Homo-oligomer: A and B are copies of this chain.
Amino acid sequence: MQKAQGETFFFLHSAYCFCLLPTAYCFCLLPTAFCLPRLRPLTPCVQDEWLVMNGQFSFQKVAADNLTQARAGRVFTAHGSFDTPAFMLVGTQGTVKALTQQMLEGAGAQIILGNTYHLYLRPGYETINRIGGLHRFISWERPILTDSGGFQVFSLNELRSLSEEGVRFQSHIDGSTHFLSPEKSMEIQAALGSDIVMAFDECTPFPATRDEAQASLDLTRRWAIRSKQRLSELHNDKSAAENAGIHIVNRTQALFGINQGSTFLNLREQSLSGLIEIGFDGYAIGGLSVGEEKDAMFELVSHLSPMMPEDKPRYLMGVGSPEDIIAAVACGVDMFDCVMPTRNARNGQLFTRRGKMNIKNARYKDDTEPIDDVCACEVCARYSRAYLRHLYMSDEILGSVLSSLHNASFYLDMMGMIRQSISLGTFKEFSNSFLSGLARGQD
Contacts and interface: CB of A to CB of B under 8 A. Distances in A.
Contacts of A94: 387, 390-391, 394
Interface in A18-47: none
Interface in A378-421: 378, 382-384, 386-387, 389-391, 393-394, 396-398, 400-402
A93 interface: yes
Contact of A123 (B93, B365, B378): B365
A310 interface: no
Contacts of A137: 384, 386-387, 390
A131 interface: yes
Interface string A81-111: 0000000000001110111111000000000
Contact of A365 (B127, B378, B383, B394): B127
B139 A387 contact: yes
**Majority-rule SS of A interface residues:** helix
A130 interface: yes
Contacts of A378: 102
Contacts of A131: 366, 368, 384, 386
A122 interface: yes
A123 to B, nearest CB: 5
Interface in A103-135: 118, 122-123, 127, 130-132
Contacts of A52: none
Given A95-B391, A131-B368, A401 B123 contact: no
Interface in A126-179: 127, 130-132, 136-139
27 contacts: A93-B390, A93-B394, A93-B396, A95-B396, A95-B398, A97-B396, A97-B398, A98-B397, A98-B401, A100-B398, A100-B401, A100-B402, A122-B393, A123-B390, A127-B365, A127-B366, A127-B386, A130-B366, A131-B368, A136-B368, A137-B384, A137-B386, A137-B390, A139-B382, A397-B397, A397-B400, A397-B401
For the complex of A and B, list the 5 residue pairs with the smallest distance between their C-beta atoms, beginning with the closest: A98-B397, A95-B398, A93-B394, A123-B390, A139-B382
Nearest to A122: B394
Contacts of A101: 382
Interface residues of A, number: 40
A137 B401 CA distance: 17
Given A123-B390, A383-B139, A98 B366 contact: no
Given A122-B393, A136-B368, 5 more contacts: A93-B391, A101-B382, A118-B394, A127-B386, A137-B387
Contacts of A366: 127, 130-131
Nearest to A138: B387
A368 B94 CA distance: 15
Contacts of A387: 94, 137-139
A171 to B, nearest CB: 13
Contacts of A93: 390-391, 394, 396
Contacts of A394: 93-95, 118, 122
- Residue from A95, A118, A384, A391 with most neighbouring chain B CB atoms (10 Å): A95
Contact of A97 (B122, B130, B365, B397): B397
A384 B94 CA distance: 13
Nearest to A386: B131
Contacts of A397: 97-98, 397, 400-401
